[in-house]
């Protein structure tokens, strides 16, 4: 921990909690690598928790599908934190005035029913499959909380949780055999609608060829940093569609076969 990182985290958190478009960090405070970006992300998390955003409940993984890698111009996965205050259930209403420019993504999410520890690394799809207990259709709420996000580099976006602003979960589905989980998730088709109009569709296999590869990537990432992913951790594995930006009053419906629907509304008041 350095004074420069503390100041960088303070600036990021201030922009997020005041809903002020963020122009980026000055040259002396910018993280110079993705590793430093993740260190800064930890400090942002701790400051957000202290500001009342709730405990760490899980992670999101961005850039796990070609459509999102091409959209963002980043060719590898990036992780962000999910805090309790942003965890929502289907039917949630997003309040106006607390986002700069909210968007939605159609996601597969999982819940761990056993710990993934650094001592168990390295992880592969088969190893993490044994830890998965629940599977969800989900909507990730993202926020373009920047003056010009394309002017920011990956370490800075990582430090700010890679656009994450909330996670809306559908009904938990259980009983998935670990031996078939990878194939089952890969075969699932998902569609998103806004105000009844389709805005995107995709399949589980779009996520690194197998959604459990994304979970294994995250488990290895955490292990390298000495972090255990405990039982109960939620992980949003990546978007099946390109981000769709919302307007006040928009109604979002997502459905992933075998997992069911998820719904949210962006309030116009």
Distance of CA 132 to the CA centre of its chain: 17
Query: Regarding beta strands 234-239 and 56-62, do their DSSP bridges make them parallel or antiparallel, or are they unpaired?
Result: parallel
Residues 159-176 pLDDT 10s: 999 999 999 999 999 999
Supply the pLDDT for residue 2: 85
Supply the pLDDT for residue 1: 63
Say if residue 243's pLDDT is above 80: yes
The reported pTM is 0.97
Q: Which domains does the chain have, with CATH numbers?
A: 56-266 (3.90.850.10)
Residues 49-95 pLDDT 10s: 999 999 999 999 999 999 999 999 999 999 999 999 999 999 999 99
> Taking CA 220 as the corner, what is the angle to CA 219 and CA 221, rounded to the nearest 5 degrees?
90
Q: Are 158 and 78 in contact (CB under 8 A)?
A: yes
Residues 179-201 pLDDT 10s: 999 999 999 999 999 999 999 99
Please give the Cα distance from 222 to 241 (Å, whole number). 26
Please give the Cα distance from 115 to 266 (Å, whole number). 35
Residues 117-128 pLDDT 10s: 999 999 999 999
- Higher pLDDT, residue 97 or 110: 110
Q: pLDDT band at residue 250, thresholds of 50, 70 and 90?
A: very high
- What proportion of the chain, given as a percentage, has pLDDT over 70? 100
Q: pLDDT band at residue 269, thresholds of 50, 70 and 90?
A: confident
Say if residue 227's pLDDT is above 70: yes
Say if residue 249's pLDDT is above 90: yes
């Amino acid at each position: 921990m350095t004074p420069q990182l503390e100041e960088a985290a303070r600036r990021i958190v201030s922009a997020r909690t005041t809903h002020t478009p963020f122009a980026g960090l000055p040259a002396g405070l910018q993280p110079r690598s993705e590793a430093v970006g993740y260190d800064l992300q930890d400090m942002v998390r701790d400051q957000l928790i202290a500001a009342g955003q709730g405990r760490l409940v899980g992670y999101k993984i961005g850039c796990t599908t070609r459509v999102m890698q091409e959209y963002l111009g980043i060719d590898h996965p990036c992780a962000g934190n999910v805090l309790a205050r942003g965890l929502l259930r289907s039917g949630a209403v997003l309040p106006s005035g607390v986002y700069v420019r909210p968007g939605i993504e159609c996601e597969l999410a999982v819940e761990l029913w056993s710990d993934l520890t650094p001592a168990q690394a390295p992880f592969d799809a088969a190893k993490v499959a044994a830890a998965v207990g629940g599977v969800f259709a989900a909507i990730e709420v993202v926020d373009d909380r920047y003056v010009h996000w394309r002017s920011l580099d990956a370490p800075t976006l990582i430090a700010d949780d890679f656009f994450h602003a909330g996670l809306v979960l559908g009904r938990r589905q259980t009983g998935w055999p670990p031996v078939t989980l990878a194939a089952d998730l890969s075969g699932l088709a998902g569609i998103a609608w806004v105000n009844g109009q389709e805005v995107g569709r995709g399949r589980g296999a779009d996520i690194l060829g197998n959604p459990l590869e994304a979970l294994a990537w995250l488990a290895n990432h955490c292990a390298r940093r000495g972090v255990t992913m405990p039982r109960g951790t939620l992980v949003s594995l990546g978007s099946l569609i390109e981000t769709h930006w919302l307007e006040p009053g928009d109604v979002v419906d997502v459905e992933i076969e075998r997992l069911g629907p998820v719904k949210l509304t962006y309030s116009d008041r």
